[in-house]
Chain A
Amino acid sequence: MAMMTGDQYRKSLVDGRRSYIDGELVEDASAHPLLRGAVDMVAGTYDRFYSEDPDAFHPMYLIPRSREDLEFRMEAMGRSDMTAGTTSSCMALVEVAPELARLKPEYRERVYEFIDYCRANDIRCSEAITDAKGDRVKRPSRQFDPDVYVHVVDRQRDGIVISGAKLHISAAPLCHEQVVLPTKAMKPGEEEYAVACSVPSNAEGLHIVNTTNAPRTEDQRHFPLSSRRNCPEGLLIFDNVFVPSERVFLDGETSHAALLAHALGLWERSSGIAHVGDAADRLVGLANLLAEANGGSERKDIRDLLAEMAIFATMCRAGWEAAVKNAKTNADGTVSPASLYVSATKYYNHELHQRMVDILHDLAGPLLVTCPTVGDYENDEVGADLGEHLAGASGWTALDRMKLLHYLRDTTADTYGGWTQVAGPLSGGGQFAQRLVALRNYDLAGATRKARQTVGLDPSPAGDEQHGAFA
């Protein structure tokens, strides 16, 4: 098999899948006004990385064996679309493959065969992890409806049958395979819920109900980012879906449910924070441009705000660099970013992100959300005059100022901005989960030992006296 071109990808999605948006069945996502933009974005990645070499594959399928591999892979992900991130579900499977082999050797074999299949066919996978969950404080086996967690409802000679639903599945209608993983740890007695498998998007009994952050205007030029980089979110409904044995990676072993969930969380979070330094730099740059366009770039109060943002951006970058520097290697030689730094960076970024957005909104003022559109600017009756009314300071033309304001509104104060505001902190587990993961991976014993030595409860190692206690 060879890599797919963008056009081949578009055609591959017309496979009889039951995908819906706004209550309508969508037979061809590439022809639907609310999904076309996302399909085009993914197709663009296909074209960008396309090679006729039969052995070529997208770097998202590179299993990192060194830090350099890891950095190379993440750099390529930055030049790709969101399905490169969701296909991280494959990395989660690879990471836990040695552990799965201890349960059943065929689980590990199936994982690598599946990865080979995906790589060879150049397909995209989703991360189908979050269950409907029902009453959040009750175990899966104690729910009023057993289907609120995806579970095995029947076992057949050559596979299993599953029912249930997975929520918030980013890019689901753009993917070929929906990779189902347990949402959390399972306990003895919950064997039917300890299931990991992959389901083709056109499998019988699978329905994909989508929402989207794509703009709904006819002329989308004042949505400069979301018109190109929008992302549908799918609710996956599994109604007695048959999964052949070769696509089942866990079936009934409750001891390993959490392992898969945690592995996916790590890769999902890593995809998010690998580029968080760049994203934060962009926010600082936007703030500086707003100050220029509005005529305040040298004001002391604005310089102070820029300094606050610069510190934020620098810490975000430092967090990812530390995650790579402290990368871990598993028994199969797969290198993964350090979970402590990944979670700490994700938490830090999202705790302060909205404060950075508040600063940007302050600098922009209400024109951010009342600025005329490109269509207005091009109108024969009003466009030329708008050019004069909207001109900025320091030689900023009206059109450039409008581009700046449109970008900022689109990404922080409109549909796409709302989506990032909600999805960012929640992806890969919410902020509370990041705190748990950080503490679990933090060297608490080492910190406590230092504290005991510092206050004199234990002797300090030779040459490491009290100096630097507060350094």
Chain B
Amino acid sequence: MSAAERYVSSLRDGRQVWLDGRRVRDVTEQVLLRKSVDWVVSGYERYDAAPNPAFVVPASPVELRSQLEQLLSGDRSLTSTAACVTALATHDDSAFAERARALVDEAKADDLRMTPASVDTAKPVRVVARRPDGIVVSGGKYHVLGAAVVHRLLVVPNGPVDEPEQAVAFTVPVNAPGVRIVVSTTAPRAVDDRHYPVSRRQSISEALVMLDDVFIPDEHVVLDGDTAGSGELASTLEEVELAVAVAAQADRSELVLGLAQSIAEMNGTGGVAHIQEKLAAIAVYAKMCRAGWEAALAGARAGKGGAVRPDEAYLFAAKSYGTRSYSEMTYYLHDIAGGAVITAPTIADLDNPDIGEFCRKYMRTMENVSGEDRIRIFHAIRDLTADTFGGWDKVTNQAIGGNMQRQRMGALHHSDLGAAKDRARREAGISSNSS
């Protein structure tokens, strides 16, 4: 049995999952969740005989760059697993560090997929009972990416907490008694989903996870009662998530540019002055997003646990810039492309003998442009920026690193303000130390 086959089989473990108000007994058989499963399968197939980047804690900028490149070209469970691995492997709580490393070793040995669960619902996760061999927890977590299709959750406080009972972190199998997973998904609902070229392959389900009196054995607990250090794991997870988001933003901005340039050429408007202006604006955006990520990598240095992390000032600055301007770029993209973004015929229309050739004929613009190719570019633009998947992608990315104000503040707080002030004083001819 291949690793991918073992993975699919492992999901039939009695996990309690609901989608659209209905219980899902087997996520591998549910048509929408199967798309998430298949995406994760692609990662298992890819790393069946090769080192899996999800289990690497980068020790140099070169390793960090390589890891991010591999993660971004794979399925989302690899990224979520990498975040959990980094958080556990660098966990410096002396009482739990060894246990956390053991959990990483176990996940790696069993080739498990993990995902973080940090954002509390209105019922924060807390210890509700203690037993000789573990703790019992209850509460809920929002936005748990891929919960229904991974093996373990890393549950952590969302930040520093005051109550010792909420200062609790642990890993838990998703099929543990008392774990219930309510899923949402961007997987396309069309019976024939060929006009969703991205989301039919790359949709990962999200979940609200409810924990009801879930027993966590001691060996899975990595924080218990230490309010002073309660925000540390979430902070590490957020750093990794932010780094991935900024790296992905650079890729995404280049994709937007590629789509815009492609459709402009296909429309015959690549040389029109106002279209060129918009393409240029997107090109500037793409270069600045790439530059932000490169600068963050160039400033990377070893942090806690020896893990190399990108420069945070550049990370926040790049994220803030990329988020603030993203809607403007998609607005330009849609303006360049035109209304066929939302009105292009489907692939099924092309298959229909009565109308297929008409659709090809009228979506064609010139001798060397095929109507079908142009239709496929329109589908990609719609799927990525103006439909269910595009909406989810935009909203979830916008929230990484906090809201837009917090992203700006992150850049401010991580900037070297002392050096900036010194420079200003020198220019102004101030030699005294008065502030």
Residues in chain A within 8 A of chain B (CB atoms)? 18, 20, 22-25, 130, 132-138, 144-145, 147-148, 165, 167-168, 207, 209, 211, 213, 215-219, 233-235, 237, 239, 301, 354-355, 357-358, 361-379, 381-382, 385-386, 388-392, 409, 412-415, 417-419, 421-423, 425-426, 430-432
Contact = CB atoms under 8 A, between A and B. Distances in A.
B216 to A, nearest CB: 19
B376 to A, nearest CB: 15
Contacts, number: 239
Contact of A211 (B342, B350, B354): B342
Listed from nearest, the 3 A-B pairs whose CB atoms lie closest are A375-B21, A23-B348, A418-B386
Given A211-B343, A431-B335, A361 B208 contact: no
B359 interface: yes
A297 B129 CA distance: 36
A423 B390 CA distance: 16
Interface in B20-43: 20-23
Contacts of A377: 21
A216 B122 contact: no
Contact of A216 (B21, B189, B340, B346): B189
B73 to A, nearest CB: 24
Contacts of A209: 345, 349, 355, 358-359
B21 to A, nearest CB: 2
Nearest to B23: A381
Given A22-B346, A361-B394, A375 B22 contact: yes
Q: How large is the interface on B (under 10, 10 to 19, 20 to 34, 35 or more residues)?
A: 35 or more
Given A135-B365, A233-B339, A385-B140, 12 more contacts: A20-B349, A22-B191, A144-B367, A148-B362, A207-B358, A364-B395, A366-B143, A367-B143, A379-B21, A388-B122, A421-B386, A422-B386
Contacts of B186: 369
B391 A417 contact: yes
Contacts of B342: 168, 211, 213, 233, 418-419, 422-423
B341 to A, nearest CB: 5
Given A219-B20, A386-B182, A167 B343 contact: yes
A432 B349 CA distance: 32
Contact of B366 (A135, A357, A370, A382): A135
Nearest to A222: B20
B398 A358 contact: yes
Interface string B77-119: 0000000000000000000000000000000000000000001
Nearest to A20: B355
B92 to A, nearest CB: 29
A218 B122 CA distance: 29
A370 B142 contact: yes
Contacts of B366: 134-135, 144
Contacts of A381: 18, 23, 180
Interface string B310-343: 0000000000000010011011001100111111
B190 A22 contact: yes
A123 to B, nearest CB: 23
Contact of A301 (B190, B362, B363, B405): B405
Contact of A217 (B20, B385, B395): B20
17 contacts: A22-B192, A23-B348, A23-B350, A134-B366, A136-B269, A137-B268, A168-B339, A233-B339, A369-B184, A370-B206, A379-B18, A385-B140, A386-B208, A418-B387, A421-B386, A425-B334, A426-B335
B268 A418 contact: no
Contact of B365 (A20, A136, A375): A136
Contacts of A138: 268
Contact of A412 (B192, B391, B399, B404): B391
A130 B339 contact: yes
A431 B341 CA distance: 16
Nearest to A301: B405
B121 interface: yes
B267 interface: yes
Nearest to B331: A354
A167 B365 contact: no
Interface in B377-425: 382, 385-388, 390-392, 394-396, 398-399, 403-405
B274 interface: yes
B362 A165 contact: yes
Contacts of A370: 142-143, 184, 206-208, 396
B428 interface: no
A23 B274 contact: no
Interface in B236-293: 267-269, 271-272, 274
A293 B252 CA distance: 32
A285 B331 CA distance: 24
B253 to A, nearest CB: 16
B165 interface: no
B361 interface: yes
A139 B304 CA distance: 64
A95 to B, nearest CB: 24
Nearest to B272: A137
A369 B268 contact: no
Contact of A390 (B121, B180, B268, B327): B121
B267 A136 contact: yes
A143 B271 CA distance: 17
A414 B335 contact: no
B301 interface: no
A275 to B, nearest CB: 21
A219 B208 CA distance: 19
A346 to B, nearest CB: 13
A38 B299 CA distance: 55
B120 to A, nearest CB: 9
B401 to A, nearest CB: 12
Contacts of A213: 342
Contacts of A18: 354
A379 B22 contact: yes
A354 B184 contact: no
B226 interface: no
B182 A372 contact: yes
A378 B207 CA distance: 17
B123 interface: yes
Contact of B327 (A148, A357, A367, A392): A357
A389 B358 contact: no
Given A367-B143, A379-B18, A379-B22, A147 B361 contact: yes
B391 A413 contact: yes
B433 interface: no
B210 interface: yes
Nearest to B382: A418
A399 to B, nearest CB: 13
Contact of A382 (B180, B274, B339, B399): B180
Contacts of B143: 366-367, 370
Nearest to A135: B268
Given A388-B122, A426-B339, A419 B348 contact: no
A337 to B, nearest CB: 23
A221 to B, nearest CB: 10
B213 interface: no
Contacts of A376: 18, 20-21, 182
A22 B269 contact: no
B358 A165 contact: yes
Contact of A233 (B21, B268, B343): B343
Interface in B162-178: none
Contact of A432 (B267, B274, B339): B274
Contacts of B390: 418
